Amino acid sequence: MTMPLSLFERIWARHVIVPNPQGEELLYVDKNLVHEGGTFLAFDQMRTEGRTVRKPKQALAVTDHYLPSTNRATAPASIANPEIRRVVEALDINAREFGIEHYGVHHARQGIIHVIGPELGWTQPGLLIACCDSHTATHGALGALPVPIGQSNQLRHVLATQTLWQKKPKTMRITIDGVLGKHVSAKDVILAMIARIGIGGGVGHAIEYAGSTIRAMSIEGRMTICNMSIEAGARIGMIAPDDTTFNYLHGRPLSPGGGDWDNALAYWRTLPSHPDARFDRELSINASELAPMVSWGTSPEDSSPITSHVPDPASIADSEKRSRVKRALDYMQLTPGTLLDSIAIDRVFIGSCTNARIEDLRTAATVVKGRKVVIPAMVVPGSSQVKRDAEAEGLDKIFLAAGFEWRDASCSMCGGSNGDSLAPGQRSASTTNRNFEGRQGPGALTHIMSPAMAAAAAVTGHLTDVRSL
Amino acid sequence: MQPFTTLTAVAAPLDIAKLDTGMIVPGRFQRLPRRPGHNDYAHVFLHDLRFDEQEQPRAQFVLNQSAYQNAGILVTGPDFGCGSSRESAAYATLDFGVRALIGASFGDVYRGNCMQNGVLTIVLPPDIVNSLMRQLQSQPGTTMTVDLPQQTVTAPDGTQHNFDIDATRKERLLKGLDDVGVTLQYLPQIEAFEARYRTDMPWLKHLI
């Protein structure tokens, strides 16, 4: 009898070409994504070696990290910082020279790499997708096998061979059951999960998210969940494809069409984990108990329900964790015992590959509608298409009327590569994935949360339980 | 990648412990383009140790001394190349003209990146590394020999020291095969996989 396989094991096995004596397997890469940040090194090295891209049609290049979020008409020529301009221009040159399709600054479908893949139907169930970015797991929300790779040497290897040597990770299933309360979202689920298992909790594992909460969730919400797998240390996060997935993909520009759709669909339906599949680790979460979450420290695991307090390091038994939390609170300029909803915020950022899809903007707009921001706040849609869709629904008018800035799609203030950053000591409410020291600029103080919670902070000027508005 | 067999070259003593990749290539140079045949990263190798704030060479620094102008081998302090995984650190080492590093320990990722780029890193016991360091310091500009097939290092005083190296890594260096070269040895298997895939997944045929 054959082993009952999980979603991950099934797709992994389908992509193994040969094993090597070091215990790694050569995997076939169905599709790979390239962004501009740091990847010029891979192309420079290939040029030095006289190599070509073996399968250029399987690659897609997108400019997102370094693009300005304003004044885009004359970009990249108008990018003031010469280093940033050179990085943006380099991808254009490299994509052209190596024959890869490039969605650059003026392409109608330009956007954040992990937003546009699914949106175009380029991301599909069962595909092994490699991308030189730690948030590649986003694509796992559609039942693809996502593999994050390095920006220089590993990317060069994928481009030159269309394969990748990998050691098979262990498996972990996180089962999330229950109905989410009002204003409790996918972001709150994943922050609660990371707070529980820690930033190292998923290291060496491929996570499958399952359970009734996930089944009831939209593809947008599932992407938010998978996106932050790396924040729990897992490079791979996946969700079994179902009718929600198939309905989402049907008719998208790069989805299979005609008879191909039926063939693809028949295969996709075989992918979900067998009911008897075994996982190396299992964990379950009761989603109906969750409240909106906010981070208070310098790691995504430093997150708590908005109804609670800044923790007291003195009450933490583990000495290593105690000193880490103490250092985090020093950096964040927070006093133990402070009510989380009393923390004043200087700036709000709604954006990033975690939470800048149309559903995220709709949720934030619902909170903002008829209210005014009391601090600087901006919305950076996840893609140019999300921006157009939002404008067609009139969401831009709601944000603008409330005093938000309405910008162009890029990674923007998530990592600040394009120059959108906080001043030292400024405190933000952000819908992003990382609250590391200096992530949004040197000395920046970041609180991560859902779009609804960030919108609530924008209209009150402090961390706020959106349910109380 | 250029094959590595034997190398006789001026060896420089770089007696600094835990010299991390951020010192090998400071972060502000990470966006530097790299053009074929230009050794663009040579200038940034150990930049802030070699040059002061006015971009003037620091005369005291060992690699700025005339005896070591053409150093092709570095004898390094412990944990050379620890820290961030930036591959540019290996590029800079190679572009500067260094093909072999000898030390008691190295940063793991840096070591892998060096081997991948044709720079041999050799681990020897600390007392031997210290002895090499002293010999080089007392005779600036002297040469050493590294023999990869025989797995030996010949010290300035003529003593030969054996070193260990993973058999796969050794073969790759001797043949000048980097990871892409190794993988492309499996090209027939990759192509057979693609042929099966096109049959099994007809909706992907137009891509693969």
Residue type, A65: H
Q: Which residues of A touch B36 (CB under 8 A)?
A: 47-48, 50
Residue B207 and residue B82: Cα distance in Å, rounded?
Answer: 41
Q: Residue B36: which pLDDT band, with cuts at 50, 70 and 90?
A: confident
Res. A305: pLDDT tops 70: yes
- Measured between CB atoms, which of B34, B184, B194 is closest to A48? B34
Contact: B30, A38; criterion CB under 8 Å: yes
Q: pLDDT tens digits for B96-113?
A: 999 999 999 999 889 989
Residue B58 and residue A181: Cα distance in Å, rounded?
Answer: 64
Nearest CA of chain A to the CA of B24: how many Å? 17
Contact: A44, B35; criterion CB under 8 Å: yes
pLDDT value at residue B62? 97
Res. A3: pLDDT tops 90: no
Contact: B186, A165; criterion CB under 8 Å: no
Q: pLDDT tens digits for A369-402?
A: 999 999 999 999 999 999 999 999 999 999 999 9
Residue A124 and residue A264: Cα distance in Å, rounded?
Answer: 9
Residue A38 half-sphere exposure toward CB, CA atoms < 13 A: 19
Question: Which residues sit opposite B101 in a β-bridge?
Answer: B74, B121
Q: Which residues of A touch B197 (CB under 8 A)?
A: 28
Summarize the confidence of residues A8-32 as an average pLDDT. 96
Summarize the confidence of residues A245-269 as an average pLDDT. 97
Contact: B34, A83; criterion CB under 8 Å: no
In A180-311, which residue ranges form alpha helices assigned H by DSSP? 186-197, 212-215, 219-227, 243-249, 258-268
Res. B133: pLDDT tops 90: yes
Count of A–B CB contacts within 8 Å?
Answer: 89
Summarize the confidence of residues A106-131 as an average pLDDT. 98
Summarize the confidence of residues B66-78 as an average pLDDT. 96
Residue type, B81: G
Nearest CA of chain B to the CA of A213: how many Å? 31
Let me know: does B34 contact B91? Beta carbons within 8 Å.
yes
* Cβ contacts of A157 within 8 Å, gap of 6 or more: A163, A164, A165, B179, B180, B183
What count of other Cβ atoms lies within 10 Å of the Cβ of residue A423? 12
Closest chain B CA to residue A52: B180
Residue A26 and residue B191: Cα distance in Å, rounded?
Answer: 13
Contact: A264, B186; criterion CB under 8 Å: no
Contact: A44, B189; criterion CB under 8 Å: no
DSSP run (H or E) holding B102: strand B100-103
Query: Parallel, antiparallel, or unpaired: how do β-strands A128-131 and A145-148 relate?
Result: parallel
Nearest CA of chain B to the CA of A38: how many Å? 7
CA A296 → CA A222, A291, A433, distances in Å?
24, 15, 13
CA A12 → CA A9, A167, A207, B204, distances in Å?
5, 11, 13, 17
Secondary structure (H, E, C), A367-412? HHCCCCCCCCEEECCCEHHHHHHHHHHCHHHHHHHHCCEECCCCCH
Q: pLDDT tens digits for A77-109?
A: 999 999 899 999 999 999 999 999 999 999 999
Q: Residue A151: which pLDDT band, with cuts at 50, 70 and 90?
A: confident
CA A384 → CA A64, A107, A270, distances in Å?
11, 9, 34
pLDDT value at residue B29? 87
Record the tokens describing residue A435, joined without a space. Answer: 């609250």
Considering only CB atoms, which residues of chain B are within 8 Å of chain A? 1, 30-31, 33-37, 85, 87-88, 91, 113, 116, 168, 178-180, 183-184, 186, 189-190, 193-194, 197, 201-204, 206-208
Q: What does pTM read for this prediction?
A: 0.91
Nearest CA of chain B to the CA of A157: how many Å? 6
Let me know: does A240 contact A204? Beta carbons within 8 Å.
no
Q: Could you give phi then psi for residue A274, rounded to 5 degrees?
A: -65, 145
Residue A342 and residue A263: Cα distance in Å, rounded?
Answer: 55
Closest chain B CA to residue A36: B31
Closest chain A CA to residue B203: A260
Q: Find, among A56, A111, A123, the residue nearest to A386 by Cα.
A: A111
Q: Which residue has the tokens 């005896």?
A: B67
Nearest CA of chain B to the CA of A93: how many Å? 13
Contact: B87, A150; criterion CB under 8 Å: yes
Closest chain B CA to residue A152: B87
Q: Residue A1: which pLDDT band, with cuts at 50, 70 and 90?
A: low
Nearest 5 degrees, angle CA B29-CA B34-CA B35? 150
Mean per-residue pLDDT of chain A: 96
Contact: A18, B189; criterion CB under 8 Å: yes
Q: pLDDT tens digits for A173-185?
A: 999 999 999 999 9
Contact: B184, A150; criterion CB under 8 Å: no
| A439 burial level (CB within 10 Å; 0-12, 13-18, 19+) | buried
pLDDT value at residue B32? 85
Chain B interface, best mutation among A94, A101, A153, A250, by max B CB count within 10 A: A153
Q: Find, among A191, A221, A209, the residue nearest to A118 by Cα.
A: A221
Let me know: does A316 contact A211? Beta carbons within 8 Å.
no
Chain B interface, best mutation among A33, A44, A86, by max B CB count within 10 A: A44
Say if the ipTM goes beyond 0.90: yes
Chain A interface, best mutation among B190, B191, B206, by max A CB count within 10 A: B190
Is the peptide bond prior to A300 cis by the omega test (within 30 degrees of 0)?
no
Nearest CA of chain B to the CA of A469: how many Å? 45
Chain B interface, best mutation among A27, A32, A33, A41, by max B CB count within 10 A: A41
Residue A133 and residue A125: Cα distance in Å, rounded?
Answer: 19
Q: pLDDT tens digits for A225-253?
A: 999 999 999 999 999 999 999 999 999 99
Q: Which residues of B touch A123 (CB under 8 A)?
A: none
Helix (H, G, I), strand (E, B) or coil at B88: helix
Contact: A162, B190; criterion CB under 8 Å: yes
Q: Which residues of B touch A144 (CB under 8 A)?
A: none
Nearest CA of chain B to the CA of A132: how many Å? 14
Query: Parallel, antiparallel, or unpaired: how do β-strands B100-103 and B6-14 relate?
Result: unpaired
Res. A368: pLDDT tops 90: yes
Nearest CA of chain A to the CA of B1: how many Å? 8
Residue A187 and residue A134: Cα distance in Å, rounded?
Answer: 17
Q: Which residues of A touch B1 (CB under 8 A)?
A: 49
Considering only CB atoms, which residues of chain A are within 8 Å of chain B? 17-18, 21-22, 26, 28, 30-31, 38, 40-41, 44-45, 47-51, 55, 57-58, 83, 86-87, 90, 150, 152-153, 156-157, 160-163, 165, 256, 260-261, 263-264, 267
Residue B10 and residue A404: Cα distance in Å, rounded?
Answer: 63
Record the tokens describing residue A417, joined without a space. Answer: 């590569």
Summarize the confidence of residues A453-460 as an average pLDDT. 98
Nearest CA of chain A to the CA of B8: how many Å? 25
Contact: B202, A260; criterion CB under 8 Å: yes
Res. A57: pLDDT tops 70: yes
- Measured between CB atoms, which of A21, A40, A51 is closest to B180? A51
Q: Could you give phi then psi for residue A205, rounded to 5 degrees?
A: -120, 150
pLDDT value at residue A118? 98
Q: Residue B123: which pLDDT band, with cuts at 50, 70 and 90?
A: very high
> What is the percentage of chain B residues whose pLDDT exceeds 90?
86
Choice between A290 and A1, residue whose per-residue pLDDT is larger: A290
Let me know: does B180 contact A160? Beta carbons within 8 Å.
yes
Summarize the confidence of residues A300-329 as an average pLDDT. 96
Q: Which residues of B touch A261 (CB under 8 A)?
A: 203
Residue B119 and residue B100: Cα distance in Å, rounded?
Answer: 5
